[in-house]
Structure 1
Amino acid sequence: MTLRDVTRKDFTAARRSRALWAVATFLGLMTAVIAFGVSGYRLTPRETVIQLFRTMGGVFGLLLPIVALVASYMAIAGERESGGVKFLLGLPNSRRDVFLGKLASRLGVVTAGVAFMFATATAMAVARNGALPLGVIVGMFVVSWLYAAVFVAVAVSLSAAVAERSRAIAAAVGSYFGLVLLYVIPGVSVALLVRYVHQTLLGFEANVDLYNAILYTSPLIAYRKAMNLVVPSEFEREVLQRAGEGDTLPAYLGDEMSLLVFAVWLAVPLALGYWRFQGADL
């Protein structure tokens, strides 16, 4: 068995997951409803479709991580708990083959899910509005796929670091809370916590750029910034607060830096997860 065989076998098993099909079906229906319901006021058909995908991007920011985590959190932990990982390593395969094969298969599953949602929304939008801004749709798909891939990388890496289902579930829930919910829940958000520590506990003057830089470490914030790269300028949205009226954000807070944030969240968890898996007692 080779890396390709591990990937193919795991992809076949993962796509049979009832939980994953339930989530994908729900999101597919939801995107169809959104696509049917969004109508642009004083917008051309093309602008209406762009507005639709911009709106869906806000929804995907919260829901794509769930798809990725549900698809990936048991990728390796499940094999370790059942003892199947010993069979895989005895065929023979290296731990690198198992780790990369699981990663590739779960990326494939999530890619299919994201493509299904975009295909559903595109078909509905074109049927209703008669316009197809292909460049924007493809750009939104790529950005959304990168965002989902980040959480696949996080989930597979966490799955490689634990040996039990309960711990894998706890790690997946914790990552969603720490990387997504803490950036959107009013009253307990990271922004308020950072401001409190910096100004109240440490006694420093307000530094909006510092707070923005810390917020920008979130994949969710990076996703919202990255969407500005693929839509026309009139559809761009302010994601980070400016220091003052008329001020511009520094270069390190620009929309382009979102790609670097994605790259870091892809590389670092995978490196740490592989390192832990290499040293794990199986």
Structure 2
Amino acid sequence: MRWLPLAREECKALLSTKGVWLLALALPLWTYRPDYTAWAELGPDMTIGFVQYSAAFLLPIAAIALGYQTIVGERTSGSLQFVLGLPLTRGDVLLGKLVGLTVGIAIPMLLALGLVTLVGVVRFGLFSPLRYLAVILVTLAYLAVLVSIVVSVSALAGRAATAAVTLFVGLFLLLEFLWQMLSPMLYSRLTGTPVDPYDPPAEGGLFLLDRLSPGGAYNTVTNGILDTGNSAWHYSSVLSEIQPNVSSNALVVDTAFDPGTVPLYLHEAGGLVILAAWGLVPLGIAYLRFDRGDLV
């Protein structure tokens, strides 16, 4: 594992910066959001929902802010030539950066989530440890996927500013922040089928499109673990949608499809396949381009 020393140095460098710890400090403040509906439906497992809520918003910001310069910045400064002068392939560099950044972000994140977990146990009681562990593992996988996208864009971009704008607009705004609102309009344009988000048609393609973003796939899997409902929206929106006489624009499979009519590809576990694709495809493209490209 020739990439391991590079990953270790990348992790140490990240942990020595203030930015990663400031984001870790913000995580408990953003995460702790008690909700009466969530308490009624989940009980003590509401604490696990806090993990999902914070990860879906803060992890993309952390990955972009802390990783967008990881390769393009070193290419611009010339230090990448020194790194590649070591007995490392360019694939080793990509993998080392990916692992180092992921671990460097994960350590403060887990410490912050540990604080939120402790408060949740004190306030709301002991939750399901198996569900908690499963959500934490999926959250770490989601973080690795986000870092993979960031490292890939950094390897492909010619300038740091290009990488930053591409990631902020493409990954954060479009895919993570706005995707659930845009997907019904996009589906309507593609198929010609009118879509009212407050009364969506039971069409598998619509619900599949809704969960094709990394965050949507993550929410789908973690909602399945929490047993809140089959949806790409965060757990509190899903719980609100399934309440009697309540209508929202959250697309929830359970309220749109009759029992026994849900397509197999809408199973919550399918979100893992989508996450894997987001983690591997950009990295594969970056590897091919980075391996053949110039360093300047």
Q: Name the CA distance, whole Å, in 1 between partners of 2:83 and 2:49.
A: 43
Aligned counterparts of 1:223 and 1:79: Cα–Cα separation in 2: 31
2:230–2:268 contact (8 Å) kept in structure 1: no
Alpha carbons 1:27, 1:117 under 8 Å: kept = yes
Alignment-derived partner of residue 188 in structure 2 = 195
Between 9-18 and 78-87, report the one with greater CA deviation.
9-18
Q: How far has the Cα of 1:266 moved from its partner?
A: 1.1
Which digits, 9 at most, give the CA deviation of each residue in 1:91-143, with x for residues without a partner?
33221221111111011112213312321111111222342421121111112
Alignment equivalent of 1:180, drawn from 151, 176, 198: 176
Moved more, 249-258 or 105-114: 105-114
Give 1:54's match in structure 2, choosing from 49, 52, 70: 49
Q: 2:229 matched to 1:236?
A: yes
Partner of 1:18: 18
In structure 2, relative to structure 1, the CA distance for the partners of 1:274 and 1:251 (3 Å cut) is same
* Alignment match, 1:262: 275
CA distance in structure 1 between the aligned counterparts of 2:180 and 2:3, rounded to whole angstroms? 39
Q: 2:184, 2:210 within 8 Å by CA — same for their partners in 1?
A: yes
Distance 1:102 1:238, change over 3 A: closer
Aligned to 2:262: 249
Contact kept in structure 1, 2:38 and 2:46, CA below 8 Å: no
Paired residue for 2:92?
97
| Partners of 1:77 and 1:42 in 2: CA distance | 45
What runs of 5+ residues in structure 1 fail to find an aligned partner? none
Contact 1:38 1:52 in 2 (8 A): no
SS at match of 1:167: helix
CA contact (8 A) 1:153 1:266 kept: yes
Please list, as runs of the form range in 1=range in 2, the aligned pairs for 1:1-282 lying within 5 A after superposition.
Answer: 2-31=2-31, 33-34=32-33, 37-38=34-35, 47-173=42-168, 174-185=170-181, 189-199=182-192, 208-231=203-226, 233=227, 235-236=228-229, 238-239=231-232, 240-242=251-253, 246-247=258-259, 248-282=261-295
The alignment partner of 2:192 has SS state of: helix
Alpha-carbon shift at residue 257 of structure 1 (Å): 0.6
1:14–1:106 contact (8 Å) kept in structure 2: yes
Secondary structure, counterpart of 2:87 in structure 1: coil
> Between Structure 1 and Structure 2, how many residues are aligned?
268
Decide whether aligned partners of structure 1 residues 85 and 208 sit closer, same or farther in structure 2, where only a CA change above 3 A counts.
same
Task: Give the TM-score taking structure 2 as reference length.
Answer: 0.81
Larger mean CA deviation between 54-63 and 129-138 belongs to 54-63
Task: Indicate how the Cα distance of structure 1 residues 222 and 200 shifts in structure 2: closer, same or farther if over 3 A, else same.
Answer: closer
- How many percent identity over aligned positions? 27
| Residues 218 and 225 of structure 1: CA distance in aligned 2, closer, same or farther (over 3 Å) | same
Specify every segment of 5 or more residues in structure 2 that has no aligned partner in the other structure, as ranges: 195-200, 233-250
**What TM-score do the two structures reach when normalised by structure 1?**
0.84
Cα gap change, 1:93/1:124 in structure 2, threshold over 3 Å: closer, same or farther?
same
